[in-house]
C-alpha cells in the first residue's frame, strides 16, 4: 500500500534482482512402522530443489498431484520444516530464524490458498478477520484498522458493505478476493499462490487472474504460482518450473518452455492438455501408467518408468541439472530429443 | 446421423426447499443420437449436473421433474416406477461420477462391485461374472486384472479408480453413458488417458455419451455436439465446430474468452464480470442480462426464445433474431 520510495523504484528498474534463493532443499516425511514406531523409510516430497526468484516476476510451478509443488511452497514459507537446504530471502537466511525474527519476514511473504473458505473462520465477520492481521503486526488504532480494511476491500474489488458479512455469504470468487486482500494487506513483496484459481469457475478465474496481475503491477509483487493448469500458467507467468516426483525436471522462460520443451515429461504434459480449439487434431503423446510411489521412487531418472525414450542409462544414472541455453535448465540425459518421433 | 437414442423435452426440475420450490433446470430440451457425444457445459450451479441426474432418475429426494418428458428409445422413462427405473439404470443407462472414491464402496472389493451389475442385470453366475469382470478390467487398461479383483478401492490410484468406475458402468453394454465431470479430479496426463478410453469405448459399443464438464478443452476434444447452459437454461446448442468457431451467445463467447490458450502467447484473457444469479432470483427477460455487455432494453423485458442459426445451431439471444431470418431466407 505504501508509495514506492525513490530507492525502491530504482531497485525495481534494475531487472533480475534476486529476491529469493533456494539451494538444495529437501523435505522428507518419515514413514513409521513396526512395534516401536521406528522410521522405516521416507516419502521424499521435495528432493534437492534449487531455484532463484527475481523481483517482480511470476514463477509458475507445475506438475501432477503429488509431485511436491505445494510442499515446496510451504517449505519456502516455513510452514513445513526443512529436512535439508538453505533459503535466502532478500539476502538473509531465513530457515532457522527465531519466532520473533520470523514474524518480521512473514510480513514480506504471504500465501493464497486453494480453498479460501477453509482458511476463513466461519463465525468471524470478514472485516474483523482482516483487522486481526493489523492487530498482530502493527499498532494501529481501531479506527485506522477499519479504514485500512475498507480500502483493502475496494482494492480487491469488493464493496464496503461486505465488511460486516460472514464467509458463507460470499461466492467462491469473492472469497478468493478476501484471501487476496489478506495476503496483500501488509505490503508483502512475495506471494505464493497455491492453486489459487483452481477451484473457481472459468469466468471468475479470469477475473481473479486479472486482479492478481493488476496488483502485481501496482505493488511490484513477485509471485510463485503453483498450478496444474498449464494454460493459466502460460497466461500468468514469466518463468515456469516443472516438477516430477519431488524433483525439478525443467525450468525456463514461458516462451522457451512452451515452444521448445527439453524434458520428455514437459513435452508429454504439454501435449496432454486438451485445447479449447477444434481446428486441427494434434498428435498426442500418451503417458502410460501413473506416478510412481514417492516412498519408493525408481532409481536413476525418476521419470524413466513412464518415459517413451528411456534407455538403459536412464535406469541407472540420475541425470544432472544442466543449463541448455540462457536460463533454461533441464534434468535429462536426452534433453531436447523429441518424443513425438 | 444415426437414430435418436434419447430425447429430452422441456424438462423443468424443481427442488423443494425451505424457501419454496426452486427450479434448477428451466425448460431444457435436447436429443442424442446413437454413437454421438453431447457435451453439456456451463459453470457450477448452472444446472448441468441436475439435467443429467434428471435423465437417469437419480435426483435427490427433495428434487423432482415438475414437467416435461425424458424419452429413452421412445419410452417416457421419467414416468417409470422406481422398480422399473432400477432395471434400466446400470443396464441400459450408466453413469460415471466425478469422484470415483465416493462412488465406489470402500468396504467392498473391486471384484464384488464389478460382479454386482452383471449378476443382477445379466443374470450371470458368480464364476461367469468374475470372468467377465476380468475381461472388462483388461478392456479399460488395468494391469494385473486378476489381482485387482480382490483389492479394495483405496489400494488403487485416482486414475485406476476411474477406470474401474468405467468398467462397472460399461459392464452391461449400456446404450447411454452419462459422464459427470469424469476427469475433473484427475491430472492432465491421466485425463488424456481416460478421455481416449471413453472415446474408444464409445466407438466399440456404439453408445450415446452425455458428458457434463466445465472444461472447454475437454469439450473440444471429445464432443460431437455441445449444449451450453446458464442459470438453469440452455443458451446455445450446436455442433462442436459451430460452438468453437462461430459462437453466437455472448455467454458462450465469454466462456471461450476466459480460458487461457496454451498455444497462443498473446492471448488476452477476457473475464465475464459479475457472477451467476442465484436459483431463486426471478429475472424478467434474459437471465444473462446483468453480465452481458450487449444487453439492451429488450433483454431486460422479454425472455429471448430459441433462434435457429443453422439446422443444428440454436442460440437464445435477442442478438440472433436477425441471424434466424438470414438463415431462413
Model ipTM value? 0.79
Domain stops at, among A221, A237, A253: A237
**Which residue of chain A is at minimal alpha-carbon distance from B256?**
A276
pLDDT of residue B265: 74
A221 occurs within a structural domain: yes
pLDDT tens per residue across span B208-239: 999 999 888 899 989 999 999 999 999 999 99
Give whichever of A241-245, A283-287, A324-328, B158-162 has the largest mean pLDDT.
A241-245
The 10 Å Cβ neighbour count of residue B161 is 21
Same domain, A276 and A217: no
Chain B residues lying within 8 Å of A255, measured CB to CB: 265
**Which residue of chain B is at minimal alpha-carbon distance from A171?**
B275
**Which residue of chain B is at minimal alpha-carbon distance from A202?**
B258
Q: Mean pLDDT, to the nearest integer, of A269-298? A: 79
Residue A60 has pLDDT above 80, yes or no: yes
Same domain, A244 and A140: no
pLDDT of residue A303: 92
Cβ–Cβ pairs < 8 A, chains A and B: 126
How far is residue B130's CA from residue B222's CA, in Å, rounded to a whole number?
Answer: 31
Range of the domain at A233: 6-237
Residue A2 has pLDDT above 80, yes or no: no
Looking at residue B287, what DSSP letter applies? Answer: T
Inter-residue contact B316 to B235 (CB < 8 Å): yes
Question: Quick check: A315 contacting B, CB < 8 Å?
Answer: no
Inter-residue contact A275 to A281 (CB < 8 Å): no
pLDDT tens per residue across span B114-143: 999 999 999 999 999 999 999 999 888 888
Give contacts of A 105-134 with B, CB under 8 A: none
Shortest distance between the Cα of A205 and any Cα of chain B, in A, equals 8
- Tell me if A276 and B214 make a contact (CB, 8 A cut-off): no
- Tell me if A210 and B271 make a contact (CB, 8 A cut-off): yes
Residue A255 has pLDDT above 60, yes or no: yes
Same domain, A59 and A80: yes
Same domain, A149 and A244: no
CATH number of the domain encompassing residue A14: 3.40.50.300
Same domain, A168 and A293: no
Name the pLDDT band for A11 (thresholds 50, 70, 90).
Answer: very low
**What pTM value is reported for the model?**
0.84
How far is residue A309's CA from residue A263's CA, in Å, rounded to a whole number?
Answer: 11
As for how many domains chain A has, the answer is 2
Same domain, A256 and A326: yes
Inter-residue contact A295 to A326 (CB < 8 Å): no
How far is residue A227's CA from residue A229's CA, in Å, rounded to a whole number?
Answer: 5
Same domain, A207 and A140: yes
CB-nearest to A274 from B214, B215, B265 is B215
Shortest distance between the Cα of B193 and any Cα of chain A, in A, equals 7
pLDDT tens per residue across span A153-169: 999 989 888 999 999 88
A225 occurs within a structural domain: yes
Domain stops at, among A200, A220, A237: A237
- Tell me if A274 and B195 make a contact (CB, 8 A cut-off): yes
pLDDT tens per residue across span A191-219: 999 988 888 888 888 999 999 999 999 99
Chain A residues lying within 8 Å of B226, measured CB to CB: none
Chain A residues lying within 8 Å of B256, measured CB to CB: 276
Q: Mean pLDDT, to the nearest integer, of B94-103? A: 85
- Tell me if B216 and A276 make a contact (CB, 8 A cut-off): yes
Residue A8 has pLDDT above 60, yes or no: no
Q: Which of B27, B30, B24, B23 is nearest to B11 (CA)?
A: B27
A1 occurs within a structural domain: no
Q: Mean pLDDT, to the nearest integer, of B74-97? A: 91
- Tell me if A290 and B190 make a contact (CB, 8 A cut-off): yes
- Tell me if A272 and B273 make a contact (CB, 8 A cut-off): no
Task: Identify how many contiguous H helices and E strands chain B contains and give both numbers.
Answer: 13, 12
Same domain, A174 and A244: no
How far is residue A222's CA from residue A212's CA, in Å, rounded to a whole number?
Answer: 11
How far is residue A193's CA from residue B59's CA, in Å, rounded to a whole number?
Answer: 37
Question: Quick check: A327 contacting B, CB < 8 Å?
Answer: no
A284 occurs within a structural domain: yes
Shortest distance between the Cα of B122 and any Cα of chain A, in A, equals 32
Cell reading at A222: 513477485
How far is residue A192's CA from residue A221's CA, in Å, rounded to a whole number?
Answer: 10
Give percent helix, percent strand, percent coil of chain A, each to the nearest 5: 35, 25, 45
Give contacts of A 220-239 with B, CB under 8 A: 228-232, 234-236
- Can you give the length of chain B in residues? 329
How far is residue A63's CA from residue A49's CA, in Å, rounded to a whole number?
Answer: 14
Sign of torsion over alpha carbons B221, B223, B226, B227 = negative
- Tell me if B265 and A272 make a contact (CB, 8 A cut-off): no
A233 occurs within a structural domain: yes
Q: Mean pLDDT, to the nearest integer, of B138-151? A: 89
Which residue has 534476486 as its cell numbers?
Answer: A18
- Tell me if B189 and A272 make a contact (CB, 8 A cut-off): yes
**Which residue of chain B is at minimal alpha-carbon distance from A66?**
B187
**Which residue of chain A is at minimal alpha-carbon distance from B252?**
A203
The 10 Å Cβ neighbour count of residue A6 is 7
Same domain, A84 and A63: yes
CB-nearest to B271 from A203, A268, A291 is A203
Same domain, A98 and A207: yes
A334 occurs within a structural domain: yes
Domain stops at, among A214, A237, A260: A237
- Tell me if A291 and B217 make a contact (CB, 8 A cut-off): no
Question: Quick check: A284 contacting B, CB < 8 Å?
Answer: yes
Cell reading at B245: 468457431
- Tell me if B254 and A203 make a contact (CB, 8 A cut-off): yes
Same domain, A173 and A300: no
Top residue of B214, B217, B260, B272 to mutate, by most chain A CBs within 10 Å, is B260
Same domain, A253 and A228: no
- Tell me if A201 and B157 make a contact (CB, 8 A cut-off): no
A338 occurs within a structural domain: yes
How far is residue A128's CA from residue A132's CA, in Å, rounded to a whole number?
Answer: 6
Q: Mean pLDDT, to the nearest integer, of A215-225? A: 94
Q: Mean pLDDT, to the nearest integer, of B279-290? A: 85
pLDDT of residue A15: 56
How far is residue B307's CA from residue A315's CA, in Å, rounded to a whole number?
Answer: 61
- Tell me if A276 and B244 make a contact (CB, 8 A cut-off): yes
Q: Mean pLDDT, to the nearest integer, of A5-27? A: 71
Q: Helix or strand or coil: residue B125?
A: coil
Question: Quick check: A277 contacting B, CB < 8 Å?
Answer: yes
Amino acid at each position: 500500500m505504501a508509495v514506492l520510495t525513490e530507492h525502491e523504484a530504482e531497485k525495481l528498474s534494475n531487472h533480475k534482482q534476486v529476491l529469493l534463493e533456494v539451494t538444495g532443499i529437501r523435505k522428507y516425511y518419515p514413514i513409521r512402522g513396526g512395534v516401536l514406531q521406528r522410521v522405516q523409510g521416507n516419502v521424499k516430497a521435495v528432493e534437492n530443489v534449487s531455484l532463484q526468484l527475481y523481483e517482480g516476476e511470476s514463477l509458475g510451478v507445475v506438475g501432477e498431484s503429488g509431485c511436491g509443488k505445494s510442499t515446496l511452497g510451504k517449505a519456502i514459507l516455513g510452514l513445513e520444516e526443512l529436512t535439508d537446504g538453505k533459503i535466502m530471502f532478500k539476502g538473509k537466511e531465513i530457515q532457522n530464524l527465531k519466532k520473533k525474527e520470523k514474524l518480521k519476514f512473514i510480513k514480506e511473504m504471504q500465501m493464497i490458498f486453494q480453498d479460501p473458505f477453509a482458511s476463513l473462520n466461519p463465525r468471524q465477520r470478514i472485516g474483523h478477520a482482516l483487522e486481526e492481521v493489523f492487530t498482530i503486526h502493527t499498532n494501529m488504532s481501531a479506527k485506522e484498522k477499519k479504514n485500512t480494511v475498507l480500502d483493502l476491500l475496494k482494492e480487491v474489488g469488493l464493496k464496503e458493505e461486505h465488511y460486516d458479512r460472514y464467509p458463507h455469504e460470499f461466492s467462491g470468487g469473492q472469497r478468493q478476493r478476501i484471501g487476496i486482500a489478506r495476503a496483500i494487506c501488509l505490503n508483502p513483496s512475495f506471494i505464493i499462490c497455491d492453486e489459487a484459481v483452481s477451484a473457481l469457475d472459468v469466468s471468475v478465474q479470469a477475473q481473479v487472474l486479472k486482479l492478481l496481475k493488476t496488483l502485481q503491477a501496482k505493488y511490484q509483487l513477485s509471485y510463485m504460482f503453483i498450478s496444474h493448469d498449464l494454460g493459466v500458467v502460460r497466461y500468468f507467468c514469466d518463468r515456469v518450473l516443472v516438477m516430477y516426483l519431488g524433483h525439478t525436471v525443467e525450468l525456463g522462460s514461458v516462451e522457451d518452455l512452451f515452444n521448445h520443451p527439453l524434458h520428455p515429461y514437459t513435452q508429454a504434459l504439454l501435449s496432454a492438455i486438451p485445447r479449447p480449439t477444434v481446428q486441427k487434431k494434434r498428435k498426442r503423446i500418451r503417458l502410460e501408467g501413473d506416478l510412481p510411489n514417492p516412498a519408493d521412487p525408481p532409481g536413476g531418472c525418476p521419470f524413466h518408468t513412464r518415459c517413451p525414450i528411456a534407455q538403459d542409462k536412464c535406469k541407472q544414472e540420475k541425470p544432472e541439472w544442466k543449463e541448455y541455453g540462457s536460463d533454461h535448465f533441464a534434468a535429462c540425459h536426452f534433453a531436447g530429443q523429441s518424443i513425438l518421433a | 446421423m444415426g437414430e435418436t437414442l434419447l430425447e429430452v423435452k422441456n424438462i423443468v426440475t424443481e427442488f423443494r426447499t425451505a424457501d419454496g420450490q426452486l427450479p434448477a433446470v428451466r425448460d431444457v430440451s435436447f436429443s442424442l443420437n446413437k454413437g454421438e457425444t453431447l457435451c453439456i457445459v456451463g459453470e457450477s450451479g448452472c444446472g448441468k449436473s441436475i439435467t443429467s441426474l434428471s435423465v437417469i432418475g437419480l435426483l435427490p429426494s427433495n428434487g423432482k421433474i415438475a414437467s416435461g418428458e425424458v424419452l429413452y428409445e421412445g419410452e417416457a422413462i421419467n414416468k417409470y416406477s422406481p422398480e422399473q427405473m432400477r432395471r434400466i439404470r446400470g443396464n441400459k443407462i450408466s453413469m460415471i461420477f466425478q469422484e470415483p472414491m465416493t462412488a465406489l464402496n470402500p468396504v467392498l472389493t473391486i471384484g464384488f462391485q464389478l460382479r454386482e451389475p452383471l449378476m443382477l442385470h445379466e443374470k450371470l453366475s458368480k464364476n461367469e461374472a468374475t470372468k467377465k469382470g476380468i475381461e472388462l478390467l483388461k478392456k479399460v487398461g488395468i494391469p494385473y486384472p486378476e489381482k485387482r479383483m480382490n483389492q479394495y478401492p483405496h489400494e488403487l490410484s485416482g486414475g485406476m479408480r476411474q477406470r474401474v468406475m468405467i468398467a462397472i458402468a460399461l459392464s452391461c453394454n449400456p446404450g447411454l453413458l452419462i459422464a459427470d465431470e469424469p476427469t475433473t479430479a484427475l491430472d492432465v496426463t491421466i485425463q488424456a488417458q481416460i478421455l481416449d478410453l471413453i472415446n474408444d469405448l464409445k466407438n466399440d459399443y456404439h453408445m450415446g455419451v452425455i458428458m457434463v464438464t466445465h472444461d472447454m478443452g475437454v469439450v473440444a476434444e471429445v464432443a460431437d455436439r455441445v449444449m451450453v447452459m446458464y442459470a438453469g437454461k440452455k443458451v446455445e446448442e450446436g455442433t462442436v465446430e459451430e460452438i468453437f468457431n462461430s459462437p453466437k451467445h455472448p455467454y458462450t463467447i465469454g466462456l471461450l474468452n476466459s480460458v487461457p490458450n496454451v498455444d497462443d502467447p498473446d492471448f488476452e484473457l477476457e473475464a465475464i464480470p459479475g457472477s451467476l444469479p442465484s436459483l431463486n432470483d426471478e429475472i424478467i427477460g434474459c437471465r444473462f442480462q446483468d453480465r452481458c455487455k450487449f444487453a439492451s432494453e429488450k433483454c431486460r423485458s422479454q425472455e429471448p426464445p430459441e433462434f435457429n442459426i443453422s439446422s443444428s445451431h440454436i442460440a437464445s439471444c435477442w442478438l440472433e433474431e436477425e441471424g434466424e431470418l438470414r438463415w431462413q431466407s
